[in-house]
Amino acid sequence: MARAMFEYTKTVLEKVSFNPTLFCKELQKAIDRLLPFEIDELKIWLKSMVLQKPELATCMPLLPR
């Protein structure tokens, strides 16, 4: 079940990646819902996404350190 939530989160983030504001809102929801190890995986995925769409870099500060 947890893995399904992670995959769903990535799907949603990909679909809203055209709008950085909406992307940040969905990213915050994902951070609130995902498990700590999934957030670590999300960070890796997000870095590759930012390389493709640099305008999404404004959302990086939302990620916990």
Which whole-number Å values give the CA distances from 59 to 4, 7, 17, in the listed order? 23, 19, 11
Residue 8 resides in a domain: yes
53 belongs to a structural domain: yes
- Whether 24 is covered by a domain: the verdict is yes
Token pair listed for 52: 């493709």
- Looking at the structure of the chain, the number of domains it has is 1
Asked if residue 65 is part of any domain, the answer here is no
Instruction: Report yes or no on 6 lying in a domain.
Output: yes
Whether residue 63 is contained in a domain is answered as: no
- Mean of the pLDDT values across residues 24-47? 95
Question: Domain containing 34: what range?
Answer: 2-58
pTM above 0.95, yes or no: no
Q: What is the mean pLDDT of residues 13-29?
A: 97
Which residues 6+ apart lie within 8 Å of 38 measured at CB? 2, 5, 6, 9
Residue 13 lies in a domain: yes
- Residue 2 is predicted with a pLDDT of 61
Please compute the mean of the pLDDT values over residues 43-58 and round it to a whole number.
95
Average pLDDT over residues 36-46: 95
